A and B are shown apart, each in its own frame.
Chain A
Amino acid sequence: MRLDRMGSMHQSRLSFLRQFLRRASRENWEFNRDLFEINENGVGRALYRFSTPKRDYTLICFSHDLPDEMRSDRVIASAWDATFTLYDGKPTINDLERLEKHVPYQEEGRLTQNELCLSRANRSVRLWNYVLDCLANGNQPDIKRVRDVGYLMRTTAVYGSGKFGSADRRVVVNREEANSPFQLEMMTVYFIRTFVMDLIEHLAKLKNPDNAVKLNKVIKRSFGVGNSTGLGMAPFLVNHPRLIHNWFEAKENAIATVKNLKTSTQAEVKKFKDLVKRLKPHLKAWQSEHPIQIQKNRALEHDIGKLEAKLEDFDFSVDFPWKILCVWSEKVLSFEGQEMLNSLILEPYGHLVDNFGDEMSCDETKLFLIDGDITTAKLKSAIENYYGWALEIDWSDPDCNARAWYTSEEKLEPRLGERHEMPELNEYEQALQPGRDIARAYKNLCEIDPNTTTADFLQTYPEHRHIIRRCLTCSELPFSEIRDNTIDSSMLPIDMLRAKLSFFGACHFDPRSDRWVRINMFKGAPFPDELSSGSDPENWIWAP
């Protein structure tokens, strides 16, 4: 669990959007567009519904006419091109009227237990008018231009799990379709993608009723939903150690399962090789202007070449072929390439690995209990075993203690500041630097009688309670802690964002700075009507 590797992770079979699509397809969810009332200015509302075997979920869309100058992806924005909420069931007219007074205002509004998610999206200035004009004039947009951007709208937040008054996670956690992490958020984004396609075709038709055409099916599939993610997502990885452990452990178990297969069938090898052929076109459409990502993608291009060459004469009839391939990758490929391979080898083995997806959620509602009778000698030893990396860091070096995580008063969002330039931030520092905090606790532990109990130690040093609880939680869970300094001057928050987004199932990571990343979700995936008419919920990945 090092940041540089986390910052190179890719989507896999276990990613949350893939789990969502698999279930929707397997259970044959019925899809309906219950309402679509939008005028020529793009203002109005729409309803999209899935009927699962046990219940309905409806995305309520409010479409707005946003002046260009008000369009911002940043969390401090106050208006958007479209706003959404996922409703638990079928909303009534009264629900729509109530929600119209709240959803368009996002964080300023209030939801109820009937609402499950809150989201908003902005149009892509690069593509929106271009595609609208093409369609209105009876033409299809240029597929290369479409692929280079990859979306017509990007979400700038998708909130769930009780935020802004919506339903607490405990309301839905026992529902099969909502138990895996972020399943309802994935449903929200998937519906948004469909809504955006309907919206652009609808507006083209209103603009030029005689000549307008619909999007060609192949081009339409090339649109995913963009997402613009800032720092807000980074602390999540630190704040949910038990959950994160389950995510990484599930993926590691899946990889280990495939690596431990003694033999492979021709069909499995063919499936893998067919996917490898998609990598170069996928990479070509992966645009980024960020120097680090440009460099990583260049390395990945070489990696793909090396993998293709390796596969030309690789003998899959040897014992443990996947393990041999992975060991080779660790010597020859960059982290990007290694992680791509780790995701790819899972693809032929859904029947062996998909069930690990069921183990990725976690009941975090109960606070981890501290056993006060543990001696501090034992505590010290746990720290030495699990946090040895943190004890080796020289925390008096200004570079090692360079940043401070804090929350801004303005939008209550996490931010990262330079501690030495803004010393006032020390007062507002969040508990997001486990390495430094454990080193501080360890120093005090070294000064007291080793037979002291943890309860007594924490009575004397209540300031260490958070990190001691964390240590006791994490020391049993090998993937719960990022084993890197989260306040180092060279730390890149985008590495944290990338890891989390890969678990969502995102691709085309395009950092806009060291703490801000644009991504694409569902690019290439079948639309709900295609899914219900039997389209493969899996065979669209690594789309260009």
Chain B
Amino acid sequence: MTQGIELSLNEYEALLNKAAVGSGLPWGIAEDAAACGAWLMSFGVDKLDTWLDHLSDSSFWIDYCKKIDRPSSNKLKDIFDLAASVIVAPDTKVKLDKYEWNGKELFIRGAKQIPSFRACLNKSQFKILNNHANNTYAPATEESRLSGAGAGLSDND
């Protein structure tokens, strides 16, 4: 990977959440999408680019949420389905292609993944996430600067 940026896992999940909202997903859907992305990252599954591609397709995430809400509808076709399955029922063993969840740990091609609370992104991914997240921030105006934060009195005392 080219020199990138390292985030804590919860910081990463918060950024995914904001990026998902910023790309137009409803809040509740964004929460599940972010939890899915964070789960993948914590087990070293490098699928952020795919996750980002899916942001432009809200129906993908609405379907994903259905698999969370009604696990019997989850037909386990891709790694996102596997994540949904493990998130809902972590004790249940699941196998899909090279991925195998034994009810506790993830193996990729037989290699055990060490869970991590860090997220490593390349600069391009970080930029794309932030670009989406930026859509959730209101442009600052002098009015909001003063009134919105509630300052205005001298705070230098």
Contact = CB atoms under 8 A, between A and B. Distances in A.
Interface string B120-157: 00000000000000101111100111011111110111
Nearest to A75: B149
B138 A162 contact: no
Given A112-B6, A410-B140, A513 B28 contact: no
A102 interface: no
A68 B156 contact: yes
Nearest to A167: B8
A194 B143 CA distance: 39
25 contacts: A73-B151, A73-B155, A76-B145, A165-B7, A167-B117, A168-B9, A168-B118, A365-B10, A367-B32, A372-B69, A409-B134, A409-B138, A412-B137, A415-B144, A422-B144, A455-B66, A459-B66, A462-B65, A463-B26, A466-B27, A466-B28, A469-B28, A512-B151, A513-B150, A516-B149
A175 to B, nearest CB: 14
Interface in A427-460: 427-428, 431, 453-455, 458-459
B35 interface: yes
A71 interface: yes
Given A165-B11, A466-B26, 14 more contacts: A68-B156, A73-B151, A75-B149, A125-B156, A125-B157, A126-B157, A167-B8, A169-B10, A231-B148, A415-B148, A459-B66, A462-B28, A466-B27, A466-B31
A406 interface: yes
Interface in B80-119: 87-88, 117-118
A372 B7 contact: no
A428 B138 contact: yes
B26 A465 contact: yes
Contacts of A424: 138
Interface string A396-432: 0000000000111110110111100010110110010
Contact of A168 (B10, B147, B151): B10
Interface residues of B, number: 44
B117 A171 contact: yes
A145 interface: no
B28 A455 contact: no
Contacts of B58: 462
Contacts of A505: none
B52 interface: no
Interface string A357-376: 00000000111011111000
A366 B38 CA distance: 11
B45 interface: no
Nearest to A461: B26
A409 B157 contact: no
A425 B132 CA distance: 18
Nearest to A122: B156
Contacts of B147: 417-418
A493 interface: yes
A169 B87 CA distance: 19
Q: Which of A168, A230, A365, A467 has the most CB of B within 10 A?
A: A168
A514 interface: yes
A231 B149 contact: yes
Contact of A409 (B10, B117, B140): B140
Contacts of A369: 68-69, 87-88
A412 B148 CA distance: 12
Contacts of B76: none
B6 A431 contact: no
Contacts of B27: 431, 463, 465-466
A113 B117 contact: yes
Nearest to A467: B28
Nearest to A230: B149
Contacts of A367: 31-32, 35, 87
Given A163-B11, A373-B70, A422-B143, A74 B151 contact: yes
Contacts of A410: 140, 145
Nearest to B34: A367
Contacts of B148: 231, 406, 408, 415-417
Contact of A165 (B8, B32, B134, B150): B8
B68 A370 contact: yes
A240 to B, nearest CB: 12
B99 to A, nearest CB: 20
